Amino acid sequence: MNARRVAVTGIGVVSPLGSDLAAFRARLIAGESAAAPVSLFDASGFATRIAAQVRAEDFTAVPATARDRKIGFGLTAARNAVADAQAHGAPLARTLPRGAAMGIGLELFSMPDMLRYLAVPEVPAGEHPLGFLQTPSDLCLHLVSREHGLTLPPLLHVSACAASTDAIGMAFRMVRDGEAAWMLAGGTDSMINPMGLGGFCKIQAMTTRNHEPARASRPFDRERDGFLLGEGAGMLVLEEWEAARARGARIHAELLGYGASFDAFGISDPHPEGEGARLAMQRALADAGIEPGEVAHINAHGTSTRKNDTVETLAIHRLFGAHARRLTVNATKSMIGHLISASGAVELAAQILCGVAPDGAPGVAHPTINLDNPDPECDLDYVAQAARPLAGPVFLKNSFGFGGQNASLAVRLNWSSP
């Protein structure tokens, strides 16, 4: 059942650092921050007034649901992923079972719409019912399936910050187990709106370093004070390895394993010993059939919150033992912020792109920027400030959700690619 290998042959991102893959890779390796004052609405009254926003030119909005940016992000990233998968070799097979799995963010309401609704609880004339007030989360998934002719039942994941990693993990298993020939998997989210920003301010989860946006997201640093909100989408084409080779596709990486776990501990706090995080990573390794010593690098969840970063560090120590000191670890959120449901997919794409040079040679771990003074409780090798060559092709991608849902993926970079 586990004989089939799974290749990543297409990558599409819509990120605060752009949607062009080459430029995205270059900016990550250069250590650029996408943080800036919020410009999508008047955020002057909030405790946090900065975020990492997607530029308008980096995605195509859906007119009927234009208020919900994540739909346009998701569709654009899916389009880009399919184009990337077909940039080399024959087109993707359209006669074999194929589907979509996505982690998609909350159905938040627009406050101006809410005021209209409270005055008259009807859909205003000229408005699409699915565009007024709240847009269903699954709408983007069905639009993606329709646009790309994906005929397997689509899977929607709502496991908070772990959602898109879960979507990729489940899609990986569907290809590996022979349910699908290929899958389009990832996630999309935008909570940079008054309700989203207000909700996160209310629970004091975000950085308030408004005076220096580019230095606000600082995972594992002693002075970190919360996460920077980001937005965007990441989609991958996952394809059965031999079929991908047969059609002449460029293979970016191989997905090896997926693990998930519940913390079963606190509503907002991670398990203090990182038990859920450890279990997710351990299960990903077991699913992949590899030993901890084979892992060279971890792309961390790394939120820049006080609790996550220390607990994730502890979980890595507990699972890897002495090998933890030999691992490199980085946090993409230091540059693009926290993309919530889309974070895992975009960060996975980031590390795959950086991890393989354009000529197929071994690549780098992108830097964790703003890590100026490491927290004494965060004592791993976090690739601070500057990119560094990877010591090996196998890495883990971690995503840990609010509410204790944890996901981890084991990945091997394809350094043999032409």
Partner 1 sequence: MSDPLSLTLDPPLALTALATHCGDAADDATLAQAALAHMKSPKMKKFMGRQDLIAVLVAGRAVAAAGLDTARLARRAGLYLAVGSIPFELDDVKAIAAHSVREGAFSCEAFAREGIEQVNPLLTFRCLPNMPAFHVSLNLGMQGSYFVTHPGAGQAWLALSRAARDLAAGRIDSALVGAVADQSNHLVDFRMRHQFGATGGLPNTGAMLCLERAADAAARGAPVLAQLTALDIRYTPHDPLDLAAAQPVEALGAAAPWFALEAALAAEERAFEQQATCRDGITARATWRRA
The mark string for 4-43 relative to partner 1 (x by CB under 8 A, - otherwise) is -------------------------------------xxx
157 lies in the binding site for partner 1 (CB under 8 A): yes
By CB under 8 A, name the one of 126, 153, 248, 376 that touches partner 1. Answer: 153
The mark string for 251-280 relative to partner 1 (x by CB under 8 A, - otherwise) is --------xxxxxxx-xx------xx--x-
Q: Is-contact 230 336, C-beta < 8 A? A: yes
154 lies in the binding site for partner 1 (CB under 8 A): yes
C-beta of 88: minimal distance to partner 1 in Å?
25
The interface with partner 1 within residues 168-227 (CB under 8 A) comprises 170, 173, 177, 179, 194, 197-199, 201-203
State the Cα–Cα distance between residues 206 and 309, nearest whole angstrom. Answer: 14
State the Cα–Cα distance between residues 215 and 224, nearest whole angstrom. Answer: 10
Q: Is-contact 200 255, C-beta < 8 A? A: no
By CB under 8 A, name the one of 20, 31, 142, 317 that touches partner 1. Answer: 142
Rounded alpha-carbon distances, angstroms, from residue 321 to 71, 183, 280, 283, 293: 42, 35, 16, 16, 10
The interface with partner 1 within residues 88-107 (CB under 8 A) comprises 96-99, 106-107
Closest C-alpha to 259, from 165, 394, 158? 165
Catalytic center residues:
161, 301, 338
Strands, sheet with 6-14, edge to edge from the N-terminal-most edge strand: 155-157, 98-104, 182-190, 231-240, 6-14, 253-262, 405-413, 394-401, 297-299, 328-330
C-beta of 197: minimal distance to partner 1 in Å?
8
C-beta of 63: minimal distance to partner 1 in Å?
10
Query: What residue has token string 């390796």?
Result: 29
C-beta of 418: minimal distance to partner 1 in Å?
32
The interface with partner 1 within residues 42-61 (CB under 8 A) comprises 42-46
C-beta of 156: minimal distance to partner 1 in Å?
5
Position 122, amino acid: E
Kindly compute the dihedral angle of the four CA atoms of residues 161, 166, 168, 174, in this order, to the nearest 10 degrees: -170
Helix (H, G, I), strand (E, B) or coil at 301: coil
66 lies in the binding site for partner 1 (CB under 8 A): no
Decide whether 197 or 327 has the Cβ nearer to partner 1. Answer: 197
Beta strands at 253-262 and 6-14: parallel, antiparallel or unpaired:
antiparallel
125 lies in the binding site for partner 1 (CB under 8 A): no
Kindly compute the dihedral angle of the four CA atoms of residues 156, 158, 163, 164, in this order, to the nearest 10 degrees: 30
360 lies in the binding site for partner 1 (CB under 8 A): no
Q: Segment near partner 1 (CB under 8 A), from 12-20, 28-36, 83-91, 138-146?
A: 138-146
- Compute the C-alpha angle 114/115/119, nearest 5°: 115
By CB under 8 A, name the one of 76, 310, 405, 414 that touches partner 1. Answer: 405
C-beta of 110: minimal distance to partner 1 in Å?
9
Q: Segment near partner 1 (CB under 8 A), from 21-29, 131-139, 232-240, 296-304?
A: 131-139
By CB under 8 A, name the one of 21, 92, 139, 296 that touches partner 1. Answer: 139
Decide whether 181 or 390 has the Cβ nearer to partner 1. Answer: 181
Q: Segment near partner 1 (CB under 8 A), from 75-83, 142-150, 327-335, 408-416?
A: 142-150
Q: Provide the 8-state DSSP code for 211.
A: T
Decide whether 143 or 324 has the Cβ nearer to partner 1. Answer: 143
374 lies in the binding site for partner 1 (CB under 8 A): no
By CB under 8 A, name the one of 86, 134, 208, 385 that touches partner 1. Answer: 134
Closest C-alpha to 215, from 50, 364, 17, 330? 50
Q: Is-contact 209 294, C-beta < 8 A? A: no
Helix (H) or strand (E) holding 165: helix 163-176
- Compute the C-alpha angle 374/409/218, nearest 5°: 20
C-beta of 167: minimal distance to partner 1 in Å?
10
